[in-house]
């Protein structure tokens, strides 16, 4: 009853996309529980520090935790928007959602290990735990594992949105909603392409190119920006044409 009351007060953030997801479903509730469990696996320490030195060492791991936390929240938000927009609960969606949750639980330790090891290379942020010993093979393997998990997660998002696109007639998606769906599909392709580029650099050039394999992810911002620009421009054109036709 409380959840229904609170949900009825929520104003959808999408101006041009009708939210088809109603009350929080068991599928979403279970997914949120898995995301919550993944967050507990990111916690810097599950034990209360016994000394001030232990406390300071734990606090130095904050940056690695913050970056990992931000990535996980980003993935959760993509998941949230998909189910609010499309509200699908058919067998294919359940299967793909289960695959996504499995990948997140697989991905969380490489994610935590990578950023903890990277920040441990900075003396001020050294918090103990995983380190990179400078061996090219170690760094290459770590980048490949991280990028492979990243690729699979956004491959799953691509399949979810492509499935929603196939159901466009059943969902009664209008032209603007189709433009946004296409945009989400392209953004998944961007993430997948960057992950594959990072893997290729790591495999071909090895550990010496690991900094480049990591910096490739910086291309996501500009690429997402360009994709968002064209999606927004097309949406504006459709909105204007709709207003003209109505008047």
Is the separation of the CB atoms in 208 and 143 below 8 Å? Answer: no
Contacts of 96 (CB under 8 A, 6+ apart): 156, 159, 160, 163
Coil, helix or strand at residue 201: helix
pLDDT at 111: 85
- Residue 103 and residue 149 in contact, taking contact as beta carbons nearer than 8 Å: yes
Distance of alpha carbon 160 from alpha carbon 82, whole angstroms? 8
| Residue 211 CB neighbours (<10 A) | 12
| Average pLDDT of the chain, as a whole number | 82
Neighbours of 236 (CB within 10 A): 12
Question: Which pLDDT does position 136 carry in this prediction?
Answer: 57
Whether 133 has a pLDDT exceeding 70, the answer reads: no
- For the cut 90, the answer to whether the pLDDT of residue 26 exceeds it is no
Residue 170's pLDDT band, with cuts at 50, 70 and 90, is very high
| % of the chain with per-residue pLDDT over 70 | 77
pLDDT at 49 over 70: no
Between 169 and 5, the more confident residue is: 169
Q: Is the pLDDT score of 3 beyond 80?
A: no
Name the pTM for this structure: 0.84
pLDDT band at 1 (very low <50, low <70, confident <90, very high): very low
pLDDT tens digit string along 80-117? 999 999 999 999 999 999 999 999 998 888 888 887 77
Distance CA 34, CA 40 (A): 10
Over 16-64, what HEC string results?
A: CCCCCCCCCCHHHHHHHHHHHHHHHHHCCCCCCCCCHHHHHHHHHCHHH
Run of H or E residues at 106: helix 91-120
Phi first, then psi, for residue 13 (nearest 5°) are: -80, -15
What pLDDT does residue 56 have?
A: 64
Tell which wins on pLDDT, 143 or 224.
224
118-132 pLDDT per residue, tens: 766 655 555 565 566
User: Rounded to whole angstroms, how far apart are CA atoms 38 and 33?
Assistant: 9
pLDDT value for 5: 47
């Amino acid at each position: 009853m409380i959840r229904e009351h609170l949900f009825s007060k929520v104003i959808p953030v999408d101006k041009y996309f009708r939210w088809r997801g109603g009350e929080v479903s068991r599928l979403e509730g279970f997914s949120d529980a898995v995301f919550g469990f993944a967050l507990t696996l990111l916690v810097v320490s599950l034990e209360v520090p016994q000394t001030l030195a232990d406390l300071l060492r734990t606090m130095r791991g904050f940056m690695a935790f913050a970056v990992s936390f931000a990535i996980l929240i980003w993935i959760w938000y993509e998941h949230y928007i998909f189910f609010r927009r499309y509200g699908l609960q058919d067998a294919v969606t359940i299967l793909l959602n289960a695959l996504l949750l499995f990948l997140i639980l697989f991905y969380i330790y490489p994610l935590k290990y990578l950023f903890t090891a990277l920040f441990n290379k900075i003396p001020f942020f050294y918090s103990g735990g995983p380190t990179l010993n400078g061996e090219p093979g170690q760094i290459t393997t770590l980048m490949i594992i991280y990028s492979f998990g990243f690729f699979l997660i956004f491959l799953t998002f691509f399949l979810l949105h492509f499935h929603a696109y196939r159901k466009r007639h059943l969902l009664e998606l209008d032209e603007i909603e189709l433009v946004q769906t296409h945009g989400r599909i392209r953004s998944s392709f961007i993430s997948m392409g960057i992950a594959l580029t990072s893997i290729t650099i790591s495999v071909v050039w090895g550990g010496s190119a690991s900094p480049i394999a990591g910096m490739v992810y910086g291309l996501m911002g500009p690429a997402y920006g360009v994709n968002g620009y064209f999606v927004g421009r097309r949406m504006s054109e459709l909105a204007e044409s709709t207003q003209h036709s109505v008047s």
